[in-house]
Amino acid sequence: MYENKIAEAEKLKGEIDRYRPLSPDMVRQLKEYYRIGLVYSSNALEGNSLTETETKVVLEDGITIGGKPLRDHYEAMGSSEAYNLLFELAKDKRIKEKDILSLHHLFYYRIDRENAGRYRKERVIITGSSYILPSPDEVPDLMKGFIKSLPALKRKYHPIEYSALVHKEFVSIHPFIDGNGRIARFLMNICLLAEGYPITIIPPIMRVDYINSLEIAHIKRDSNPFINFISHVVYESLKEYIRIIKG
């Protein structure tokens, strides 16, 4: 079980704020640094076979990796395009339904143009989970309810708690045929960026803890383990950010 790290994360964010504003060149470099890290880790959590170095080669050099599935390359390129949108959406400080559809379209159109940016029309299951997902007929209304609930959630909870709950509630609906985990992590990061936190990365090595804490949130309706887990990865990401800007 993970301890709640929100208080410690707040202190680190305060330290980062003292370095702000960063130079435009530093901001650009940080954005590109986190592009590779987030794209690689988020895809690896879902089974993508590209290593971090291979992801960098695909995105920066446009070179395909021999022996690796074409879909894995498409996931990297799509995630990179969706990443570009994160920073624009974070400026608005609101998540709108059309923004979620746009993120999914950018991520998924190379893989399945027909379903990119569109809610699923069939039932899906989460492998290894006993949580039963809503039927496709329920998805549109559930998504509208999800969007409508966000302002109240944002007022009630700390930004780190809010980002975790947005992630949890989104994947509980699972509105798309594929790519739900990746979109959930994008939404989590939009919430954090909007409040001055850096990009938060969930390392693939923590996949089991990540999935287990989500399972508890869905089955036992206890969000605290997942909030604590997210607070831990936010804290570690803040430490990494400070290391970079100090260096």
Contacts of 45 (CB under 8 A, 6+ apart): 181, 185, 202, 204, 207, 210
Q: Mind telling me the catalytic residues?
A: 174
Q: Give the C-alpha distances (Å, rounded to integers) separating 130 from 133, 212, 215.
A: 9, 12, 8
- b (16+ CB within 10 A) / e for 202-236: bebebeebbeebbbbbbeeeebebbbbbbbbbbbb
Q: How many CB atoms lie within 10 A of CB 45?
A: 18
Contacts of 246 (CB under 8 A, 6+ apart): none
Residue 12 burial class via C-beta count within 10 angstroms: exposed 0-12, middle 13-18, buried 19 and up: buried
- The token pair that represents 79 in the structure block: 């995630």
